[in-house]
Amino acid sequence: MSSEAGAKTKLTYREYVLFPNDGRRHEIIDGDHYVNPAPGTYHQTLSRRIQFQIYQQLELAGQGQIFDAPTDVQLTESDIVQPDLVVVLEANRLAITPAKIKGIPDLVVEILSPGNPDYDRELKKQMYQRTGVPEYWIVDPEEHVIEQYVLAGKEYELRDRHAKAIVPTTLPGVEVDLSKVW
């Protein structure tokens, strides 16, 4: 890092672990600290319904693990987030440590919050793309839509906007039935 006047120091995991345990979500994106309130009950209901389906098909089959928030995911030295859901396939299991996931997960799911949808649609999407997360879902609780992004090279491509159908994932043998989510 440059020592030029006005250069900002990026926060890292060392500072992250010092944030207070105050019931809010603290995240570091590209070295900047962001704070969001705890999710609401409908948000948590959707998260649980998606997690349950992925758990049944992936984790019970021994193909990987799914974690829900608050699970720390350290993508880089200065990118530490708590996605709503995060999937790590068995082939990448070494990314799972006792304290956090350190490395790139195979799927990240973020559920939009009513007060700040741009946080997940723009800032976090750009970060997940930049760090190489292969598949990223944005769940819109108001529209009842899941936007499925898949990394193609270094850019995300919108695979589809799913509303009432089955969402096929890039994970082996895993799909999510939206009739069981909404």
Name the average pLDDT for the chain: 94
Instruction: State the pLDDT at residue 38.
Output: 87
Q: Which residue, among 130, 116, 37, 35, has the nearest Cα to 75 in the 3D structure?
A: 130
Has residue 63 got a pLDDT over 90?
yes
Compare 130 and 24 and report the one with higher pLDDT.
130
Confidence of residue 7 (pLDDT cuts 50, 70, 90): low
Q: What is the pLDDT of residues 82-99, one digit of tens each?
A: 999 999 999 999 999 999
Strand partners, 87: 66, 107
- Confidence bin at 2 (pLDDT 50/70/90): very low
- DSSP type of residue 119: I
Domain range list for the chain: 13-180
Query: Could you identify the residue written with the tokens 């900047």?
Result: 32
What pLDDT was estimated at residue 79?
Answer: 98
The pTM assigned to this predicted structure is: 0.93
Bridge pairing between strands 135-140 and 155-162:
unpaired
Tell me the longest C-alpha to C-alpha distance in the chain. 55
Alpha helices for the chain (secondary structure H): 13-16, 41-54, 117-118, 125-131
Name the band, by pLDDT with cuts 50, 70 and 90, for residue 5. Answer: low
168 DSSP β-pair partners: 175
Report the candidate in 71, 87, 92, 85 with the shortest Cα–Cα distance to residue 27.
71
Domain 13-180 matching CATH 3.90.1570.10: the answer reads: yes
Q: Which residues of 106-140 are buried (b: 16+ CB within 10 A; e: fewer)?
A: bbbbbbbbeeeeebbeebbbebbeebebbbbbbbb
